[in-house]
Amino acid sequence: MQEEEFYIGWLAKAPPSFARRTRQFILVSVLSLPLVIGCLVYFQQGFSNGVFEYGKQTSLIGKFSPTPAPFLILESANQTNGRLTPQSILLVGVGKHGYFADPKEIPAGSKVRVDGFLIYREGKVALQVKSIAVLEKDSSVNYTPFASVLNAAPIRLQGEITDPKCFLGVMNPGEGKPHQDCAVRCLAGGIPPLLKVHDGDGKDAYYLLFGPNGAPLFPQIQQYVGSGIGLCGRIQTFDNWQMLYVDTTSIQRINKYALDAGPMCH
């Protein structure tokens, strides 16, 4: 019967079998380490180019539009001192909250000055509101906020849902499973959902989501935040933003990395 070698830690030398296995383990570890590091670097999600100018207050003047989400429509695209050239800016509140204005205090179409902190990424701009001053109240009854185009035919899109405030620059990453809980709380606080669509050409498009009549959509999409989702709706395009008015019966969970168009909308 062959005796098993027994290693006692305080001995000066390990038995041959222990020493051999230790050398093999060290050799494999040394050879594998560069490969493991390379894989981690290659597959690691990079930082976004989103910017949150916290502490750098900006004052902008424009028209206030409360629907379908609160927007500031700039009178001049040069108000941001050359940093940006947006025409319409999404207004959000402090923390995990959307911005809400009393229509009696700030009627739709009123000329306002908004002080706050800019958040921007890839041509989409939001402003965390610190204060709003009404310069001139709008007196028209039927205020039309945007020179927009609403597609008559529904279209199907699929992508990932997050919140625009964090995604544009407040958090990094502002998307995916790591950001899921934060996004849910932001959307529950009244920030409109953002759908990120990634096409086969490597380009991304972004859509603010609303119900069929512009109603909040959070209750219907809460369980899909941070996951892949497919849905149908009509697109409204204006300035540098696109809205998607969603057919809530079309919502389904999908693989967010799938690029096929999926079933047609009816």
Instruction: Sketch the domain layout of the chain as residue ranges.
Output: 51-136, 149-254
Q: Locate 225 and state its tokens.
A: 């935040």
SS3 content of the chain, % helix, strand, coil (to 5): 20, 35, 45
Dihedral sign computed on CA atoms, order 141, 109, 191, 121: positive
CATH code of 149-254, in short, is 2.40.50
Q: What was the pLDDT predicted at 127?
A: 94
- Matching CATH topology for 51-136 and 149-254? yes
224-254 confidence digits (pLDDT tens): 998 889 999 999 887 788 999 999 999 988 8
70-92 confidence digits (pLDDT tens): 999 887 656 665 566 567 899 99
Q: Determine which helix (DSSP H) or strand (DSSP E) holds 180, and give its type and residue range.
A: helix 180-188
Q: pTM of the prediction? A: 0.77
Q: Locate 168 and state its tokens.
A: 């544009």
The mean pLDDT values, 10 residues at a time, for the chain of 266 residues are: 61 73 84 80 65 90 89 74 71 93 89 94 90 84 62 84 90 80 91 86 85 87 89 87 90 70 56
Reference 101, options 72, 73, 141, 75; nearest CA is 72
**Could you give the 3-state DSSP secondary structure of residue 97?**
coil
Q: How far is residue 27's CA from residue 33's CA, in Å, rounded to a whole number?
A: 10
Reference 122, options 168, 176, 53, 159; nearest CA is 168
**Could you give the 3-state DSSP secondary structure of residue 72?**
strand
CB 70 within 8 A of CB 64: yes
Integer Rg of the chain from CA = 26
Backbone dihedral angles phi then psi of residue 197, each to the nearest 5 degrees: -110, 125
**Could you give the 3-state DSSP secondary structure of residue 11?**
coil
What is the domain class of 51-136 according to CATH?
Answer: mainly beta
Q: How far is residue 141's CA from residue 23's CA, in Å, rounded to a whole number?
A: 83
**Could you give the 3-state DSSP secondary structure of residue 134?**
strand
CB 229 within 8 A of CB 253: yes
Backbone dihedral angles phi then psi of residue 90, each to the nearest 5 degrees: -75, 130
Which pairs from 151-155 meet CB under 8 Å and 24+ separation? 151/234, 151/235, 151/236, 151/237, 152/234, 153/234, 154/232, 154/233, 154/234, 154/247, 154/265, 154/266, 155/232, 155/233, 155/234, 155/235, 155/265
